[in-house]
Amino acid sequence: MGSENEISPADAHRAPGKEQQAAGVGILLQIMMLVLSFVLGHVLRRKKIYIIPEASASLLIGLIVGVLANISNTETNIRAWFNFHEEFFFLFLLPPIIFQSGFSLAPKPFFSNFGAIVTFAIFGTFLASIVTGVLVYLGGLVFLMYKLPFVECLMFGALISATDPVTVLSIFQELGTDVNLYALVFGESVLNDAMAISLYRTMSLVRSHPSGQNFFMVVVRFLETFVGSLSAGVGVGFISALLFKYAGLDIDNLQNLESCLFVLFPYFSYMLAEGLGLSGIVSILFTGIVMKHYAYSNLSQSSQKFVSAFFELISSLAETFVFIYMGFDIAMEQHSWSHVGFIFFSIMFIGIARAANVFSCAYLVNLARPDHRKIPLKHQKALWYSGLRGAMAFALALQSVHDLPEGHGQTIFTATTAIVVLTVLLIGGSTGTMLEALDVVGGDDNLNDSSLASLGPTANYEGNNGYIAPSYEEEESSSSGNKIKMKLKEFHKSAASFTALDRNYLTPFFTSHNGDEDDEAVEPFTSTRSFTSSRSGFHGQSPYASPYSP
């Protein structure tokens, strides 16, 4: 028996060389797929072929290469280089995608719609995850689909509630749309990642420690994860802003140091949260938001250009690679395809949960807004349709394979992968037609670059469907006895109060300019220089500008 496992001296000398060769071939094929994805995406964009979005193209390339590798006699040690470990995914691919999501938020549209975005992202995501989990559990009870324990159904509901509307946002940018609709879709997709991962981790803790877990403790666990991670991210962002404000690094011979430090802070935030047992993803997301709003303006002009281009570059590479890997994974990995019913009914249930999220939250938001600022029904339908699943859902499903035993995690991973692929290919491919049918893209009533730049911190946009920056000093509702309405108005008023607090105190304290100098904060989003954001699909013009605008 022992002699069978012995390696001859000749094999021992050949093994390292063959391993190095296999590594080279594997990495070469990955680079070729990335190059092909970017070239194909560029061609599709130039030809205005919206039926095959860039994300779909990357996914299809991975799927085709995976099928070819699976049916060929490719050596095992070469194929191994296609399958990266989840540590690589969570440590190197996901952080730049999530950081760029927060870093690329436009401050004015985001904070002008802050109350609505928080309602959709926090309350709406919680509602969607609970509805999905309950429906999946009930489906198992009546034998419609594979039966999972209730807590595991809630874990699935949490992870599948993370949206990634990269296709919708890219079409918004290409065709032009209302600035508020763009802010709602993008803002919700950014913040609901944080909510989804906090809910998933909370449910995972409940599952691993079932004894002594009552509802109060579950809420405490959730707040500990979410608020703790948020605080770590915001704290690191504020520290970085003060460092770049007072350290005097914006002189010529220190600009390389300035850029290096700026690039390191996001990973510092991520690792700090992970080291404290919190969520690094939530932490790095809010670090991105704070660093863009406060630390970015303290950099020299050349460093600003460098860090913007750097984060856009690595996030674009990372997200393209994620979609390639998802396609490749379908062909190469062993999936629980026997549970087709679980996949089919899960797709139906997440559609129902998404509707519950969007329409209930829009109803609550509209209660607190006057008629000319309400979210129109066609915008609500666009929000519902934009609920594609992407990198975050895939990442959490990948984590569930290790968190859940007895093949349950594999079933969830298979279902999530199928849902991501189907939403990206089918729904993503029909997005352009659907959005044009809803009449929410194109047209002449969209905000252009100059009008966005001219909006003041408290400006009201009163266009056709404009509902930006609600004013609460005019129009006290006649139905003041309605307690729900008054509570909602107070909540939305607090968002406006935060805008004033930021303008009058936070911005002057953490940045080198006062709160009235808003042009710098808006400039990255309104300049006409070429840039690319993988998450939002920005390509060379303001995401809020209609291409038909002058």
Residue 489 lies in a domain: no
Structure tokens at 166: 């990269």
Q: Which two tokens stand for residue 218?
A: 């579950």
Give me 540's structure tokens. 């060379």
- Is pLDDT above 50 for 532? no
Look-up of token digits 């996901």? 94
Contacts of residue 212, Cβ cutoff 8 Å, sequence gap at least 6: none
Percent of the chain having pLDDT more than 90? 21
CA distance 262 to 486: 43
Phi, psi of 532 (to 5 degrees): -135, 125
Question: Which pTM value belongs to this model?
Answer: 0.75
Distance CA 473, CA 488 (A): 15
> Any bridge partners for residue 532, and if so which?
539
Total structural domains in the chain? 1
Tokens of 60: 């299809």
CA atoms within 13 A of residue 389's CA, in its CB half-sphere: 28
| Sign of the C-alpha dihedral computed for residues 387, 225, 499 and 522 taken in this order | negative
The pLDDT tens digits of the residues spanning 89-99 come to 888 888 998 89
Q: Which two tokens stand for residue 445?
A: 């009533």
Residues 162 and 396 sit within 8 Å (Cβ to Cβ) = yes
CA 206 to chain centre: 25
Task: Evaluate if residue 70 carries a pLDDT over 80.
Answer: no
Question: Does any domain span residue 32?
Answer: no
Task: Please give the average per-residue pLDDT across 198-202, as a whole number.
Answer: 88
CA distance 468 to 181: 10
Higher pLDDT pick, 28 / 447: 28
The SS3 assignment for 461 reads strand
CATH number for 320: 1.20.1530.20
DSSP code of residue 435:
H
Residue 53 host element (H or E): none
Residue 57 lies in a domain: no
Token duo for residue 402: 């290790």
Residue identified by tokens 């129109």 is 376
Confidence of residue 82 (pLDDT cuts 50, 70, 90): low
Q: How far is CA 274 from its chain centroid? A: 19
Q: Which of 40-49, 114-123, 223-232, 441-450 has the lowest mean pLDDT?
A: 441-450
Highest mean predicted confidence (pLDDT) among 147-151, 250-254, 427-431 = 147-151
539, β-bridge pairs? 532
Helix (H) or strand (E) holding 181: helix 179-208
* Positive or negative: CA dihedral 43, 46, 50, 56: positive
CA separation for the pair 546, 451 (Å, rounded) = 11
DSSP string, 131-175: HHHHHHHHHHHTTSS----HHHHHHHHHHHT-B--HHHHHHHHHH
CA separation, residue 89 to residues 22, 93, 190, 193, 396 (Å): 21, 5, 19, 16, 11
Question: 480 lies in a domain?
Answer: no
Assigned domain for 90 exists? yes
3-state SS assignment for residue 550: coil
Q: Which of 34, 33, 36, 30 is nearest to 82 (CA)?
A: 30
548 within domain boundaries: no
List beta partners, residue 431.
none
**What is the pLDDT averaged over residues 494-520?**
68
What's the gap between Cα 272 and its chain centre? Answer: 21
Domain span at 107: 81-438
Task: Name the DSSP letter for residue 545.
Answer: -
Q: Is residue 278 part of a domain?
A: yes
The tens digit of pLDDT for each residue in 297-352 reads 888 888 899 999 999 999 989 888 888 888 887 777 666 667 788 889 999 999 99
Tokens of 420: 């991501």
> What average pLDDT does the chain have?
77
Q: Is residue 495 part of a domain?
A: no
Pairing, β 532-533 against β 538-539: antiparallel
CA distance 435 to 174: 12
